A and B are shown apart, each in its own frame.
Chain A
């Protein structure tokens, strides 16, 4: 299947707001093997409403780059199975969401885990491997 390169050439940035949540299947995978493919597959993803995906010219299964003031990460985008009103994207809490969360807390010790401002754009790269997210960690 030929790749539609045109999509990448014009791939624009969109501002999004992300909130994190917990998922029982991802926690199950975490307890079993946090270095495994299943944990990566269930973590390195962002879920959005059908209408938001449409506005941004994205489709389920695309890889996207998420960039915030704190970092940048490539994950897979998924369409929400729920009837979401849009405006908020969702990520399961994991090193992939932590890569773009700010450490700024106003000295209060609690980061904004559930309120991340980021830019999203279509990405050519592979999903960011775990080793790249963790400073000093060997594969």
Chain B
């Protein structure tokens, strides 16, 4: 059995048939995972200033750029193994650099609360075995973590839920869009207006406190009734919810206090975003947006977005991420003005403008290691295909030696 790195569910029941050093068949994985494990059509090649090079020269050039930069930054890491992430944090420390990952504009805020133990949470196995009320809030798991409902929440039998979705479980969707997940939550889809999450939470808090909610009274009272009866409830918090409430997570904490049987789990997309958050938290007390200068400084201004917008880095190492693809166009303009070092298995939008590109192995397929599932469980990744690509951990090790 192999672990899939398609998303942060890290499904470890995948069967892979390898023939002549290539993947011939993948069984049990979802569409997203299959596509990731099969790999991209355009593998990255080593290059310096967009001219083909060899990997040793590319690593030397990358080290030279990072060493001579006044304000270097390392970014990405959500598609890297835990081992590579720890190396990356070490490299940032050695370089007195800034370091951030994609959680900075994704689920970092909620994961930080989980690691600080401000939210009650549980494992995905607990959810499968015990959960009877499942709320997908601003989360379309069917498209982002496609096997979430079938492996861990709505559909499977669990120790105390032998009749699964037919009788034992209620799935609820709260969303601005009738997503594919909402379609499954038949009769329990609560459509909210854009940015309406906070108001919805406040109305729910009223209803749970015995007051009459001013907002959509009948539906809110009905929902509060379902939640009060829950024996083991789950709130699967998607980025729809996170983006909507942003730093106002206090309302979610208040709601959590009124629902003592509920657990909150941030829904993570990239396979090891939580791994990076946990590693950095262990070393610095923060999940992202850190600058090393002998000490540790954590401020919003060290987020990748603010750094690029304010043009406050003069060399950026990107590993396992594609900021040109995932950040607003106005923000990424600065990337074409500075040397970018790109470490990735595939050609990306960012690698196309990079000063140095360094190809690496696809983790969980061409290199092994560990990763942290969205609920905090550490999962082993295995190497199933033998080839010459170095793992991201080895590349970062070599960079560390060279700077």
B177 within 8 A of A: yes
Which B317-361 residues have a C-beta within 8 angstroms of A? Answer: 322, 324-333, 335-336, 346-349, 352-353
B-chain residues with CB within 8 Å of residue A137 when the two chains form the complex: 324, 349, 352-353
Assess A114 versus B194: contact at CB under 8 Å? Given A19-B177, A31-B40: yes
Assess A111 versus B328: contact at CB under 8 Å? Given A105-B306, A135-B333, A137-B349: yes
Task: Give the interface segment out of A3-11, A59-67, A88-96.
Answer: A88-96
Proximity bits, B126-139, A CB within 8 Å = 1, else 0: 00000000000000
B179 within 8 A of A: yes
A122 within 8 A of B: no
Checking B41, B195, B289, B330 against A102 with a beta-carbon cut-off of 8 angstroms, the contacting residue is: B330
Contact status A19-B329, CB under 8 Å = no
B-chain residues with CB within 8 Å of residue A19 when the two chains form the complex: 176-177, 194
Q: With the chains together, A93 CA to B238 CA distance in Å?
A: 15
A2 within 8 A of B: no
A103 within 8 A of B: yes
Contact status B40-A32, CB under 8 Å = yes
Contact status A17-B335, CB under 8 Å = no
B-chain residues with CB within 8 Å of residue A101 when the two chains form the complex: 328-329
Which among A24, A98, A103, A109 has the greatest number of chain B C-beta atoms within 10 A?
A109
Which A60-106 residues have a C-beta within 8 angstroms of B? Answer: 70-71, 82-85, 88, 90, 93-95, 98-103, 105
CB distance from B21 to the nearest CB of A (A): 20
Assess A138 versus B328: contact at CB under 8 Å? Given A31-B32, A32-B40, A109-B104: no
Interface residues on B, range: 35 or more
Interface size on A, residues (CB 8 A): 50
Q: With the chains together, A73 CA to B117 CA distance in Å?
A: 43
B105 within 8 A of A: yes
B-chain residues with CB within 8 Å of residue A99 when the two chains form the complex: 328-329
Assess A103 versus B309: contact at CB under 8 Å? Given A88-B194, A95-B329: yes
Chain B residue at smallest Cβ distance from A96: B329
Task: Give the interface segment out of B85-93, B141-149, B163-171, B249-257.
Answer: B141-149
A-chain residues with CB within 8 Å of residue B348 when the two chains form the complex: 34
Q: With the chains together, A51 CA to B142 CA distance in Å?
A: 27
Checking B34, B178, B349 against A95 with a beta-carbon cut-off of 8 angstroms, the contacting residue is: B349
Q: A85-B191, A107-B306 are in contact. List 13 more A-B contacts (CB 8 A).
A: A22-B140, A24-B180, A25-B31, A28-B34, A29-B35, A31-B35, A34-B346, A71-B329, A110-B303, A110-B305, A113-B239, A130-B349, A135-B353
Residue contacts A-B, CB under 8 angstroms, 24 given: A19-B177, A19-B194, A29-B35, A31-B32, A31-B36, A32-B38, A32-B41, A33-B42, A34-B40, A35-B347, A93-B326, A98-B325, A101-B329, A108-B246, A108-B247, A109-B104, A109-B303, A110-B243, A112-B243, A114-B239, A114-B240, A114-B244, A135-B335, A137-B352
- CB within 8 Å of A: which residues of B? 6, 30-32, 34-36, 38, 40-42, 50, 104-105, 140, 142-144, 146, 176-180, 191, 194-195, 239-240, 243-244, 246-247, 269, 289, 300-301, 303-306, 309, 322, 324-333, 335-336, 346-349, 352-353
